[in-house]
Structure 1
Amino acid sequence: MKSMARFVADTLRGPPVPPTLPGYRQARSRRRQVFRYVLGMGTLALVSALFGFFFALFPPSFYLYLAAPIAVAVLVAIWALPETEKPLPAMVSFFFFAFLISLCVWPNYLALALPGLPWITSNRLFTVPLFFAFLVSLSVSSDFKRRVAEPLAHSRPAMIALIIFVGLQFLTIAFSWNPARSATLFVNAQLEFTMIILVSLWIFSFEKNARLFAPLCLFFGLYQAGLGLGEYVSQSVFWADAVPEILKGDKFLVSKILSGQVRYAVGTHRSQGTFTTSLSYAEFLGIVQPFMLYIVFFWKNIFVKVLGGLAFILALIAIILSQSRLGLVATIVGLLLFSLILALRYWRIHRNSLLSPAIILAYPIAAAGFLALTVVWNRLSNMVWGGGETQASNVSRMEQYQTGFQKVLDWPFGYGMGNAAKQIGMVSADGMLNIDTYYMLILLDNGIIGFISYATIFIYAIYKTSVLSVNNIGSSAYHTIIIPISCALTSFFITKSVLSQEDTHSFIAVILGLAISAIYMDRHGSSAEKAR
């Protein structure tokens, strides 16, 4: 019986398969190849039919969900790329600096609106190819990954806070009354904030790029100040008539922005540059002013030093013409912090000098004198604290805080991105939902933990850069550029208490990336370069 069973098995199995030569494989049976082909094509046809069905069934707001599997497939393909140690550094650098320049010189509210496609803004024009070039470089180059990962891992509190913040942005989509809109805002935030931080880590791992950032800020500040002065002369957004209709994606919003802003109690045009509001314009100028001071005190070329001082004055004039209190507050904070850090650094170098202690001890007196001056000088008081023409804004912000805190207590986990203004329920004069403070926006959108994680990123960066700028006296770009970084981040963090617009957030993401890189290179600069 055993021999008969063995005979039947050998008959069914067929003749023995000859051994396969090295480097070759056994050819699959024809039947198996046909089965796999039919199964694959059938699956593709079924998935295509389902995509077509849902594409026709759902409104355009759901198209983002239909694109998710395609995006996942692309990401998997990028992840599977082999290690070549040949990333795309030229492409990453080009799209990064192109994005940075367009962000600071071109109005992002202008968009090319083509049928069936998302609006093509200047930000999207550069962030999308930058995203793919960055991912490919991460996938194929261990050195590229190291230049991004090492600085981020060194600033562990900021890294953990950023991961938590992004995770909550994603999770709160489930709580949103409009998940499609929240998902779109989430994608935009990752492209224009989170990714920009990560790309900046690689960009500023090269000292030449860190040294280049201050002159770029000088150029951006001069450019925007020039636009502000031109607007004051013409009492309008003087280039508004030159915008073609094809770039007015949201015609109502673009027309509203280009019509300019006027504080009716004053009756004059408020300069706004390429930004959506005069407040964001003044905030941006307040952020770049510390880098102008950096050029004045640390640049070697005397002509560039003079240009930096002139740019600071012009930026201050432009802030005044914007009639923005927060811009002046940002200037004052940046100037005071910059001079304090310089005094402390000078004291560390010249232990026996009396100048630095005198400056430091004079700070309380100067602060008290400035506060007294704002009380007795009515014009300065209106510029800093506001007058009757700004009382409505003050009352509105207080009401928003009261309503917002109650909403946060009702649901402390966040209502999803883009829902903060709806929860507050306040409407501006033109009928649009309005929220003034970014802190309340984060609390309502991402919850209490989301706000804590967001604040942790900035508090950590401000603390580390402030301490290092005083304690570490060096000659490299990282040892000195860290001073205006600390001032700029502090000014931004303060202005967000009264401003919710996100016009400057991508620019701040660049500064955050520069800050984390400078913190790492300040400690590991020489050893890191040798390892690379």
Structure 2
Amino acid sequence: MQQTVRFLFWSRDRQTRRPFTLSGYHPSESGLAAKFALKAAIVLVAAILGLAIGGLPLNRIVVPLLPLVVLTLLIIWILPENRNPPTRFMSFTFFAYFVAVVVWPYYLAIQLPGLPLIEIRRLFVALSILGFLICYSTSRAFRDELWRICRASSLEVKLLWAFVAFQALSVPFSVDVAGSIPTFVKNQLGWTAVFFIVAYVMSKPGNVDRFANIIRALAVFLVVLGYFEYRNQGLLWANHIPWFLKVSDPAMINLLDPMFREGEYRVTGPFSTSLSYSEFMAMAMPFFLHYIVEGRKLWLRAVALLCHALVFYGILLTQARVGIVGALAAHGVYFAAWTIRKWRLERTNIVAAALLFLMPVLLALSATAVLTVPRLRIMTLGGGAHAASTQGRVEQMKAAIPLIIKRPVIGYGPGEGAGVLGYRNPAGELSIDSYILAAALNYGLVGFLVMTAMFGLFVLKGIQVGQASKGETSVAIAAATSIAVWMVAKIVLAQEDNVSVVFMMMGLIAACAYRVRQDAPSAGVSTTRRWL
């Protein structure tokens, strides 16, 4: 009782002991009554939030947590100016998140009694975002540099904000507002915030090469993992998950079951489906291609060529057409962009000039081979074993068009597309097989078009920046190709496993555009802030 009274009423002698305050601020001069009211309000709010968190299901806990998030943002906003913001902490936690988002299965999370799921990837991204917010709030130099980075890709970033606006607009009109709010928040944390973090981190010399090396290493690691998984005919960790990492959600548990097609096992790795696994491998291919043609050391280029072949082998283990088509798109887009770059930088290069004029012929020959060679046709366009999935996509398209026309602007809310479509696969599970349909249903037709324009312009920006630069900023071509591969895959794949990686590619391109502009002789931008 005495400790409670001292906590509520006790105040120090200002003449002898000065309360702790941050630099640039002054201690409060409030009386005892004001202090009591403030602390009582804090206890009351904490009790209400505790009851709400304890009484709501796990997928709704984000709602009562919003006031805490707002309070945290307010505290960060009022922090004093800092000449040394925690940029290194932000960078380190981002790279940790990058590794986790690829290799850590999202259906494995720390689950303790009475607490929400603690996902490793979300923990790292939350720490990185916290570092970013502190840097942005406390450092004018950080804010100015981030503005200049975004100014180098002005139109693309404006489309990004427009896409965020359409996502936000669809939430209050969602068919399930309480379900759309967590999805919207998750998208902003894993997509929008990641873009700005990457844009700043990649603006520092050396980080672009580091990012490219990490994605190559991750792809090789996944191939090795996929090989042993194929030998095991099941996920290696399926029967060895500790109790505190097991998720009780039935949909997540089903992901641990082995997948087969015509008796042949399909490698899944840490992703939700084998298609997402092959999608990432195809997205990593341009980074191998870039080092094969641009690397400095011959023996490392040979290693990159070998690893590139291993990545394609990993795609074959999934038996996923989306991976094969993605690999073809990766080679076609990258070599077209690289040929134009080589020809522009070295007009006397006979090989580059020959390839430039042979590209249409090579494209026609590739299309002819796909259509005429039975093995290639089945691997890319499908055969008898793929007839059911192809027919399912056709049926979904027919059912989705009237629904999209009904709500062309606001959509049905983030994450609600599959439920609104109502299509179920032979196993009775809700299914939507095209991200085009999912995005148009979620955010409306206009929001989908804005999103597509955003991705498309970043592809063009990356190719343009890569062609105009040398050194590590030329990796922008590989990043742009990776986004193009992802866009091709999304025609027949709705899973969002790799969307965060795509936003990383966009941030990398924005950073490279800024660095190229800074290195240009006529570098210089307007000092008037308009949109950041």
User: TM-score, structure 2 length as denominator?
Assistant: 0.88
C-alpha distance 72-318 of structure 1, shift in aligned 2 (>3 A): same
1:112-511 alignment runs, 5 A limit: 112-250=110-248, 252-263=250-261, 266-412=262-408, 413-470=410-467, 472=468, 474-478=469-473, 480-511=474-505
Deviations 1:112-160 (A, max 9, x none): 1122322111211211222211111111112222332221122122222
Structure 1 unmatched runs, 5+: 1-24
Deviation at 1:246, TM superposition (A): 2.5
* Contact 2:85–2:139 (Cα < 8 Å) also in 1: yes
Deviations 1:222-270 (A, max 9, x none): 111112222233332233222223312135334322222111xx31001
C-alpha distance 182-83 of structure 1, shift in aligned 2 (>3 A): same
In structure 2, C-alpha distance between the alignment counterparts of 1:49 and 1:316, rounded to whole Å? 55
* Contact 1:113–1:119 (Cα < 8 Å) also in 2: yes
C-alpha distance 234-81 of structure 1, shift in aligned 2 (>3 A): same
In structure 1, C-alpha distance between the alignment counterparts of 2:217 and 2:54, rounded to whole Å? 49
SS of alignment partner, residue 500 of structure 1: coil
C-alpha distance 321-35 of structure 1, shift in aligned 2 (>3 A): closer
Deviation at 1:48, TM superposition (A): 5.4
Deviation at 1:56, TM superposition (A): 7.2
Deviation at 1:527, TM superposition (A): 7.8
Deviation at 1:381, TM superposition (A): 0.9
Counterpart of 2:267, as a letter, is S
* Contact 1:289–1:315 (Cα < 8 Å) also in 2: yes
* Contact 1:521–1:528 (Cα < 8 Å) also in 2: no
C-alpha distance 78-382 of structure 1, shift in aligned 2 (>3 A): same
Partner of 1:89: 87
Q: What RMSD, in angstroms, separates the aligned Cα atoms of the two structures?
A: 2.5
Counterpart of 2:233, as a letter, is Q
In structure 1, C-alpha distance between the alignment counterparts of 2:524 and 2:333, rounded to whole Å? 34
Partner of 1:22: none
C-alpha distance 52-200 of structure 1, shift in aligned 2 (>3 A): closer
* Contact 1:201–1:514 (Cα < 8 Å) also in 2: yes
Q: Which has the larger radius of gyration?
A: 1
Deviations 1:426-467 (A, max 9, x none): 112332211111111111111122212211221111112223
Higher helix share: 1
Deviation at 1:44, TM superposition (A): 4.6
C-alpha distance 226-46 of structure 1, shift in aligned 2 (>3 A): closer
Aligned length: 498
In structure 2, C-alpha distance between the alignment counterparts of 1:259 and 1:345, rounded to whole Å? 46
* Contact 1:296–1:309 (Cα < 8 Å) also in 2: yes
Partner of 2:107: 109
In structure 2, C-alpha distance between the alignment counterparts of 1:391 and 1:425, rounded to whole Å? 21
1:50-89 alignment runs, 5 A limit: 51=49, 62-89=60-87
SS of alignment partner, residue 495 of structure 2: coil
Structure 2 unmatched runs, 5+: 1-25, 526-532
Deviations 1:393-412 (A, max 9, x none): 11111211221121011122
Partner of 1:519: 513
* Contact 2:465–2:512 (Cα < 8 Å) also in 1: no
In structure 1, C-alpha distance between the alignment counterparts of 2:46 and 2:290, rounded to whole Å? 58
Deviation at 1:60, TM superposition (A): 5.5
* Contact 1:248–1:254 (Cα < 8 Å) also in 2: no
Deviation at 1:52, TM superposition (A): 6.3
* Contact 2:326–2:489 (Cα < 8 Å) also in 1: yes
C-alpha distance 176-366 of structure 1, shift in aligned 2 (>3 A): same
In structure 1, C-alpha distance between the alignment counterparts of 2:36 and 2:119, rounded to whole Å? 43
Counterpart of 1:466, as a letter, is I
In structure 2, C-alpha distance between the alignment counterparts of 1:298 and 1:207, rounded to whole Å? 18
| More displaced 10-residue stretch of structure 1: 233-242 or 426-435 | 233-242
Deviation at 1:57, TM superposition (A): 6.9
SS of alignment partner, residue 258 of structure 1: coil
| More displaced 10-residue stretch of structure 1: 377-386 or 355-364 | 355-364
Deviation at 1:167, TM superposition (A): 2.2
C-alpha distance 341-113 of structure 1, shift in aligned 2 (>3 A): same
SS of alignment partner, residue 120 of structure 1: coil
SS of alignment partner, residue 365 of structure 1: helix
Deviation at 1:73, TM superposition (A): 1.4
C-alpha distance 382-521 of structure 1, shift in aligned 2 (>3 A): same
* Contact 2:285–2:327 (Cα < 8 Å) also in 1: yes
| More displaced 10-residue stretch of structure 1: 172-181 or 419-428 | 172-181
Counterpart of 2:114, as a letter, is G
